[in-house]
Amino acid sequence: MLFLFQGPRGLTHSWALQTILRQSIHDPSRCFQAVLLLALTMLLLAGILHMDVGLFIPLLRSQAEGPPIVNVMFLKTHKTASSTVLNILFRFAETHNLSVALPAGSSFHLGYPWLFLARYVEGSEPQGPQQRFNIMGNHLRFNLPEVQKVMPNDTFYFSIIRNPVFQLESAFTYYKDSVPAFRNAESLDAFLASPWTYYNQSVGLPNAFARNNMWFDLGFDNNARANDEGYVRARLADVERQFQLVLIAEHFDESMVLLRRALRWRLDDVVTFPLNSRSVRSVAPLTAVGRERAQRWCALDWQLYQHFNRSFWVRAHAELGPRLLRAEVARLRARRRELRERCLQDGTAKNQSQIADPQLRPFQSGQADILGYNLRQGLDEQTQRMCERMVTPELQYMARLYALQFPEKQPKRLAFLE
């Protein structure tokens, strides 16, 4: 057996430990000596180098051993960096030739805002054996029994949430023209100053984006009483039971570290460029009073966020510890910088008018200015394919996967590109 220690100048061999351990195979009395020497050596080095002991035992804290998980269900919540996460899943599916549960026919979502039904998936058969898929991630309103009809029993379930103050601001900008509660409000601050002036609960589903939208996406009642502690605790317990991991948008890179570990994927599988993000000029931050009002108005989402933000950090520190987590995040960011320089023209996101390739122009909605990317010229074929997958907007990527997976079906029409 050979033990390797990571020091500031690379890997070095502990031959003394190797010798003792080799002898302990033939002399069990030496086994305790070997273990004790190993522990003392690690503690000594940790003290000298001022490093976390966990860094010396990566097998205990690094990615779990075993094959990568290929059956994955992602609950894609709205305005939470979920399009960036979906790109990760689409790329993984295409790279490994996996099946994706895609919206049937001309649809671009899985029945949203209605509760999900298996029949919303292309290829789902109401009669006979139900087809199962590897990856699921398009917008839907969560309904576990129906999801289980199209996903295997060993599926890994995860989702992402965001501070509801920022999530609501993004939703207001993005859905300003389509959500009844938002249409007549001059600004989100004006809406929050008197929300019941604009929000009519009887309108139902079309107003789902205007209040507790993440709670709604999870399949719950977004107009439920937030001060009903028993109800809130029960629903939070439902989420904990149904999802193995809940990511936090404000801590996206830390989230990718935990996701990669959980799925046993490679680093490049989770390296991303932000997709469906807005330009700074289309972001309208709330006033301090508006932020407080947003927390009260979306009190269910606020409790959801507080609960899983706490549990996220408990998990991160338990699995990695602060120093190893920082090291993994640094590694992720370094790889992103490397790919940005390799893939992107000028290394930055562009507004729609600056994007040369129409197929890489993202869908624009409401008052949002959605950014996209230009690829560098002269990339070799393999690099071109890798980079193109990373910058392809959600709708174009879904349409491409649909055409690959169902060549006999009518292709999905992207009217905004015509």
Read off the pLDDT of residues 310-341 as tens digits, 9 standing for 90 and up: 999 999 999 999 999 999 999 999 999 999 99
Give tens-digit pLDDT for 258-275: 999 999 999 999 999 999
Structure tokens at 139: 């917008």
∠ CA 374-380-386, nearest 5°, is 60
Considering only CA atoms, which of 225, 218, 244, 255 is closest in space to residue 88? 255
Domains of the chain plus CATH, in order, are 4-61 (no CATH), 72-417 (3.40.50)
Cβ(251)–Cβ(312) under 8 Å? Answer: yes
Give the burial class of 306: count Cβ atoms within 10 A of its Cβ; 0-12 exposed, 13-18 middle, 19 or more buried: middle
Which band of pLDDT confidence, cut at 50, 70 and 90, is reported for residue 131? confident
Q: What is the mean pLDDT of residues 38-57?
A: 43
User: Would you state the pLDDT for residue 56?
Assistant: 40
Q: Evaluate the CA torsion angle 218, 222, 370, 253 in order and state its sign.
A: negative
Distance CA 397, CA 405 (A): 12
The yes-or-no verdict on residue 23 having pLDDT over 60 is no
Which band of pLDDT confidence, cut at 50, 70 and 90, is reported for residue 124? confident
Structure tokens at 193: 């100053």
CB atoms within 10 A of CB 269: 19
Pairs from 324-332 (Cβ < 8 Å, separation ≥ 24):
324/52, 324/54, 324/55, 324/61, 325/254, 325/257, 327/55, 328/257, 329/253, 329/254, 329/257, 331/267, 332/253, 332/256, 332/257, 332/267, 332/270, 332/271
Q: What is the mean pLDDT of the chain?
A: 88
Reduced to 3 states (helix: H, G, I; strand: E, B; else coil), residue 416 is helix
Which band of pLDDT confidence, cut at 50, 70 and 90, is reported for residue 26? very low
The yes-or-no verdict on residue 27 having pLDDT over 60 is no
Considering only CA atoms, which of 375, 383, 379 is closest in space to residue 357? 375
CA 92 to chain centre: 13
Which band of pLDDT confidence, cut at 50, 70 and 90, is reported for residue 129? low
The yes-or-no verdict on residue 60 having pLDDT over 70 is no
Give tens-digit pLDDT for 133-155: 999 999 999 999 999 999 999 99
Higher local confidence (pLDDT), 1 or 185: 185
Higher local confidence (pLDDT), 127 or 312: 312
Cβ(178)–Cβ(364) under 8 Å? Answer: no
The yes-or-no verdict on residue 91 having pLDDT over 80 is yes
Give tens-digit pLDDT for 160-190: 999 999 999 999 999 999 999 999 999 999 9
User: Would you state the pLDDT for residue 8?
Assistant: 33
The yes-or-no verdict on residue 74 having pLDDT over 60 is yes
Instruction: Supply the DSSP symbol for 410.
Output: P
Give tens-digit pLDDT for 351-395: 999 999 999 999 999 889 999 999 999 999 999 999 999 999 999
Cβ(304)–Cβ(298) under 8 Å? Answer: no
Q: What is the mean pLDDT of residues 278-297?
A: 95
Instruction: Supply the DSSP symbol for 112.
Output: T
Identity at 157, one-letter amino acid code: Y
The yes-or-no verdict on residue 208 having pLDDT over 80 is yes
Considering only CA atoms, which of 216, 376, 318 is closest in space to residue 207? 216
User: Would you state the pLDDT for residue 302?
Assistant: 98
User: Would you state the pLDDT for residue 1?
Assistant: 36
User: Would you state the pLDDT for residue 43?
Assistant: 44
Which band of pLDDT confidence, cut at 50, 70 and 90, is reported for residue 33? low
Considering only CA atoms, which of 320, 318, 158, 151 is closest in space to residue 244? 158
Q: 226-259 in b/e burial notation, b at 16+ Cβ within 10 A?
A: beeeeebeebbeebeebbebbbbbebbbbbbbbb
Give the burial class of 151: count Cβ atoms within 10 A of its Cβ; 0-12 exposed, 13-18 middle, 19 or more buried: buried
Distance CA 149, CA 133 (A): 10
Q: What are phi and psi of 242, to 5 degrees?
A: -90, -25
Q: What is the mean pLDDT of residues 18-27?
A: 44
- Whether residue 113 is preceded by a cis peptide bond, meaning omega within 30 degrees of 0, is yes
Reduced to 3 states (helix: H, G, I; strand: E, B; else coil), residue 103 is strand
∠ CA 36-37-40, nearest 5°, is 85
List of residues 6+ apart from 64 with CB closer than 8 A: 261, 264
Give tens-digit pLDDT for 283-292: 999 999 999 9
Percent of the chain residues past pLDDT 90, beyond the cut: 80
